[in-house]
Amino acid sequence: MDEKKGLFCPNCGMLNASSSKFCIKCGTDLPKPGSEEEVKPESEDIKHQDIIPIKTEDEKSENLQESVEPKEEHKTEQPLTNSLSALQETAASVVSDLYQLNNSDGKFNYFKYIAGVLLRPYDKYVSEEKNLSDIKNLSILGGIIVGILTLVRLLTTMLSYVRIKSVLSNEITWAWDNLIEVPYFKTFFISVFMYAGIILAVAGVYYLGGMIIKRDIKFIKLLGISLTAFIPYAAGTAILYPLLSMIYVPLGLVAIMIGVLYSVLSLIELINDSMSIDIRGIRIYFHLACLSIIMTIAVFIVYKIVLASLLGL
């Protein structure tokens, strides 16, 4: 055998270097070159099968670069991150919607709403618009407002009967026996009719006006707006006026004026936002017509009530 070609292992047929004493594969003692113990592989297939290829430096460098560079099949980290982010946003949105729905069902705080309207009527109405679309909530809220105003009217009527002020000396005397003469039932029914009538009249007039200018708006929404705008008027006329009039009558009149203006401005702003009347000229004439009709109805109702009181009917 040529020494340049190497030695074949007699056990496994592995080609070894000519200077090797042991097989690099199985460790068997190798025969000396040219001896009879040297065995050649039985076929070329065995020879080529057992030869371990020796890679060059260029091949090693190429293999190292391939192992460092990321394969395309592993480049799925970014889409996976985006999918997780989208899933988190969707879950957060669902939780938020469920939270708002839970808070809006049966948890409408009527007294808190009334107090909030006195400070920020527009913002308070917008935040509670869903609750005000429920006829049950509207009925309870309207009942509370009308009930409070009726109670205040009863108390002020009783006070006017027992508190007697002398015109000449401004001396005040109390005649508690006059409580028997107070028309309780008449005062009660007149108050309920007057306050509820104003709320319904405002909603009804604007509803008919919306139909005329072809605006699709529900009556129950207008009723919520009317009830909200009525709160400042009620506070000024039924609560502040009697209290301030005991101190100084002009102060009571100022309270009425402020309450009326506050209610009218709140009503106009809420109606504009709900009906979306874009042309300013139409908005002006629309509110002018509606408010004129409402004031006419209010004057007629008050005139009838005052006239009935004077005639003792």
What tens digit of pLDDT does each residue of 106-140 get? 578 899 999 999 989 899 999 998 888 889 999 99
Q: How confident is the model at residue 92 (pLDDT cuts 50, 70, 90)?
A: low
Report if residue 17 sits inside a domain: yes
- Selected residue with higher pLDDT from 303 and 79: 303
Q: What is the pLDDT of residue 65?
A: 52
Report if residue 302 sits inside a domain: yes
**pLDDT tens digits, one per residue of 260-307:** 899 999 999 999 888 887 777 788 899 999 999 988 887 877 676 655
- For residue 286, how many other CB atoms are within 10 A of its CB? 22
Q: What is the pTM of this model?
A: 0.59
Among 60-69, 81-90, 92-101, 266-275, the least confident range = 92-101
Report if residue 59 sits inside a domain: no
Secondary structure (H, E, C), 241-287 = HHHHHHHCHHHHHHHHHHHHHHHHHHHHHHHHHHHCCCCHHHHHHHH
Residues 39 and 118 in one domain: no
Residue 233 and residue 263 in contact, taking contact as beta carbons nearer than 8 Å: yes
**pLDDT tens digits, one per residue of 166-220:** 666 667 788 888 888 888 888 888 888 888 988 999 999 999 998 988 888 889 9
Q: What is the pLDDT of residue 270?
A: 93
Residues 158 and 294 in one domain: yes
Residues 34 and 146 in one domain: no
Residues 159 and 39 in one domain: no
Q: What is the pLDDT of residue 204?
A: 92
Residue 252 and residue 245 in contact, taking contact as beta carbons nearer than 8 Å: yes
Q: Provide the mean pLDDT of the chain.
A: 75
Q: In this structure, what are the phi and psi dihedrals at residue 104, rounded to the nearest 5 degrees? A: -90, -10
pLDDT at residue 103 greater than cutoff 50: no
pLDDT at residue 39 greater than cutoff 60: no
Report if residue 164 sits inside a domain: yes
Residues 27 and 130 in one domain: no
Residues 119 and 46 in one domain: no
Among 79-93, 152-166, 280-294, 296-310, the least confident range = 79-93
Residues 14 and 162 in one domain: no
Domain that holds residue 130: 112-311
Residue with tokens 């808070």: 103
Type of residue found at 173: T
- Selected residue with higher pLDDT from 46 and 291: 291
Residues 250 and 120 in one domain: yes
Residues 253 and 122 in one domain: yes
Residues 47 and 190 in one domain: no
Residues 301 and 230 in one domain: yes
